[in-house]
Structure formats: C-alpha cells, structure tokens
Structure 1
Amino acid sequence: MNETIKTQLNHRTIRAFKNQELTDEQKKTLEEVARHTSTSMFLQQFSMLHVTDDEKRAKIREITGQKYVGANGDLFIFVADLYRNSEIRRQLGKDEGALHGTDVFLQAVEDTVLAVQNFVNAAESMGLGAVILGSINNEPKELVKILNLPKMTYPVLGVQVGVPDQEPQLKPRLPLEFISFENEYPHDFSIENLASYDEVVQTYYDLRDANKRIDSFTNQIGSAKLDNRKTHRSQILEVLHEQGLCWK
C-alpha cells in the first residue's frame, strides 16, 4: 500500500465544485500527465480542449443535461485525434492509409481514455476532484459543431475538474469474483449470485440527490438505460462516418 494506491482506492466522483478555477500550475501539471500517457504504436492520437468560453460551456451543459458541467471548476474535452496524423501524411505526400479504419480509430480511443484516467488520477492526487463525462455524446453532431472539430476527430469524453465542494460516499463496485478470472472466462453466471451486492447498492445514497434511494445494480441493468431505444446517441456511428472514421 502506498499513497498512489490509497488515492485510487479512495476514488469518488465529484459533481459539486467550489467557485474557483485551476491555477496555471495545476492546469499545466494535469496536461503534462495526460501528455505522458501510454500510446498505441507511438501514434499519440488524442488531444485535449480546455473549454473556457462561457457560451460553449453553456451549450455543452445543455447537451449533457447536467447542471455542474461547465459551471464551477474547469471543463476539458478529450478528443480521439487522427486529424494530426492525417495531415502529417498528406504533407509528406502520402495518402491517409489505414487512418479511416476501425482498428486505428480504436487505438485512438484507447489513447484518449488512458489519458483521461491518468488526468483524473493526477487531479485526485493533488486534492482536486473530477467527474468523467460520457454525457458529452448525448448529441454528438451538435458537439462537433460547438467545438469546431475537423474531420478525423471525435470527442470521446469530457472531464469537469476542480476543488471539491462535497464529500460523497464511496460507491460500491462489483466484487472481484465477478470481474477477475484466471485463464478463461466462466460461462456459468447467475443473477442470483449478485443478491448480496444488490443489497449493498440498495443502501447506497448518491449525494446528487441525498433523498433518493439508489436502485439495485441488477435493476439498473434491466432498466431503460440499456433498452433498445432511439436517442441522439444513436447518431454516434453516423457522426463517426461523417468525420471520416471507422469506414472499414
């Protein structure tokens, strides 16, 4: 056990921040940590956008439907970025090669997600708090316009980061026996084995609404969040194709 592991095991999503921005030193440190993240094939296919424009922040907040997004603290959007490498190849007189393929795009997504996690780990080690925002993709077409993203890029995740203004409970995760296996994946899963974990989740109260009882894990998985329904998120593949990504 060391301080790094203690920080990681103590991870809590923060959704309420004090009314202060990151210092220049804090911002640069977090960006440098993200910059030094592992990268597939040394392609370095991600970029970060620090969103400071009030109008853009308000529009992104509307997309997410979460009032804390673009409010107190700082908002970053992490982008899978194949544009830079496509430009390098073009300026070298090369075609775009494999850059339109799903394989290379997934490598870019991996680079981006790893950078996000490193960014958040670093923020928490500095006494800051953060929330990772998959909700930026609620309206992918609109977000691409707001950020004026070029072809060959896609916004994967957002991060709101700042000085915490809450101390939420530690949210219970699935026990190791359900996620850590040796050599082969077991096929004998039964929902009944999650009964004890469901009880733990049912007693957990999320500070986003302290008076609302959080449902059990299995009920959440069976809820509308995974139902086959059409939303703006259904446009993700269409937007990827429009951006020149995942063509093959």
Structure 2
Amino acid sequence: MTETTTINHQLNHRTIRSFKQKKLTQEQLKLLEEVVNQTPTSMFMQQRSVLHLTDPVKCSKVQKISGQPYVGASGDLFIFIVDLYRNQQIRQEAGLDDGRLHSTDIFLQGVEDTVLAVQNFVTAAESMKLGTVILGSINNDPAKLIQVLQLPRLTFPILGVQVGVANQQPQLKPRLPLNLNFFENEYPTRQKNSDLLDYDKIVETYYDLRQANRRIDSFTNQVCSAKLGNKITQRDQLQRVLHAQGLCLK
C-alpha cells in the first residue's frame, strides 16, 4: 500500500455500525494480530492484551452492557485490555514484589499502549477495506464487564472494536476546524462559542442531510447537553473498579 493510499483511508475514516454477516478470515485475523503486536509500547513493557470474543453468550452480554444493538451482532468483536497482570506474574516468578505495578503512572502507560494498539488495529483494518467502530460503550458498567470477561486483577478493558465488512456507507462526519485544535507554542485560553458559529452550521447541515438518525443538532449544543451534564451513571464506578482491580492505588 502506498503512503497516499494509507493517508486517504485515514482522512476518510467513517464509523461503521452495520456489518454484513461475514467473519474475518484467518489470514485477516492473523494480520491484524501482527499489526497490534508491532504497536509502539512504553518502556517495552507491552502492557496490553486483546480478547477476540467469539462466544455468542459473551457477545450478547457485552452488547447488553454497551446498550448498542450492533455490538457483537455481526462482524468480529475485540476487547482491548490494559494488562499489568502478565508482568506481575513475571516478577512474582522471579521472586520480586509488584514494584510500581499498582501506581497510576504505570496504569496510564498501559492505557497508552492499549489505545495506540486500537488505532493501529483500526488503520490496518480500514486499509484491508473493512469497516470498524471503536466502542467506549463497553464500559457503561465496568464491574459487570470485568465479571463477564472473567478478567484477573491488574487488568482493565479500555475499548472495544467491532470490525467486519461494512453494510452501510455513512457520510463523512465534519471535525473541528484545524485552527481550533492545533496551536503553536501556546494554548489559547480565550476561546468563545462565537468562534464555532460556522462549524456549528456545518454540523447542523451534516445531521440534516445524513441518511440515518437525522436531527437538528450542532457541536456546541452537544457539549452543552446531558452528555457532559451532572448525572449519575454506572461509569461513575470507574475509580472504584480500578482500585478493586489493584490499579491506580498510588
């Protein structure tokens, strides 16, 4: 694949939420695994693992947690996990204590490893003409998810990815103008909603014209909506669940 082709795939990324009833081939699966395995890793600790969920019962339970009907329904479902457990076992077998494995610093390094792996996975999948959707919704009930996946302490599922042959062609969703999120040397703190008027109009047009779930909405309206408002959700368990997993204790 040429550099231009790869960049074109990245510039035209679309989230796919409908997949054909077709599983990955063993060749596709192997290639995606190898791409993830070559992802950059902090301090060469390789603190990430991936679960490929093929058990329909587990897929159904993850779907229920996410609240999204397309999760696990078609294509292939992968769960990307911050994994400090493996390195704990290596240290224990060598007669060492856990060292800094319970620190927030090491957990965040594991998060970096895992999120980078997700992006590499998605870029590779799209270069293979597959569709993807990154699933933050798997953590709508983090304690339940850990129970369903039967994960040991010192692990935490960060993101899911559904991948497969796309069964839709959604429009390209407009992102913020570059001048509003790329800066030189200093971060501009005097930003105003009026700076986003033109972008809001573009987003409103996108929602009005798109093929599915049409509505009148804007970017600033979404930021000011219940999405970021004060409300209690199962996601508020995150800190407690992290601590229960032996993570971010110091």
TM value normalised by structure 2: 0.97
Deviation track 1:24-71 (CA, whole Å, cap 9, x = no partner) reads 000111111011000000010000000000110001000111110001
**What's the CA shift for 1:205?**
3.0
> Residue 6 of structure 1: SS of its match in structure 2?
helix
User: How many residues get paired?
Assistant: 248
Identity between Structure 1 and Structure 2 (%): 64
Does the 8 Å contact 1:168/1:207 carry over to 2? no
Whether 1:169 and 2:178 are equivalent positions in the alignment is: no
Counterpart residue number, 1:103: 105
Whether 1:228 and 2:230 are equivalent positions in the alignment is: yes
- Structure 1: gaps of 5 or more residues: none
> Residue 203 of structure 2: SS of its match in structure 1?
helix
Does the 8 Å contact 1:204/1:214 carry over to 2? no
**What's the CA shift for 1:213?**
1.3
Deviation track 1:79-119 (CA, whole Å, cap 9, x = no partner) reads 00000001111111010010000000000000000000000
Counterpart residue number, 1:75: 77
What is the distance in 1 between the residues matched to 2:71 and 2:211?
A: 17
Does the 8 Å contact 2:83/2:156 carry over to 1? yes
Q: Equivalences for 1:81-230 in 2 at 5 Å?
A: 81-205=83-207, 210-230=212-232
Distance change >3 Å, CA 50–CA 208, structure 1 → 2 = farther
What is the distance in 2 between the residues matched to 1:234 and 1:30?
A: 33
Does the 8 Å contact 1:101/1:247 carry over to 2? yes
What is the distance in 2 between the residues matched to 1:197 and 1:217?
A: 8
Whether 1:5 and 2:7 are equivalent positions in the alignment is: yes
What is the distance in 1 between the residues matched to 2:99 and 2:29?
A: 35
The match for 2:58 among 49, 56, 59 is 56
The match for 1:28 among 27, 30, 33 is 30
> Residue 244 of structure 1: SS of its match in structure 2?
coil
Distance change >3 Å, CA 207–CA 88, structure 1 → 2 = farther
- Structure 2: gaps of 5 or more residues: none
What is the distance in 1 between the residues matched to 2:16 and 2:178?
A: 24
Deviation track 1:178-209 (CA, whole Å, cap 9, x = no partner) reads 11000111111111100000000011139997
Does the 8 Å contact 1:50/1:75 carry over to 2? yes
What is the distance in 2 between the residues matched to 1:85 and 1:245?
A: 13
> Residue 204 of structure 1: SS of its match in structure 2?
helix
The residue identity in structure 1 corresponding to 2:143 is: K
Does the 8 Å contact 2:170/2:211 carry over to 1? no
Does the 8 Å contact 1:130/1:161 carry over to 2? yes
Distance change >3 Å, CA 77–CA 236, structure 1 → 2 = same
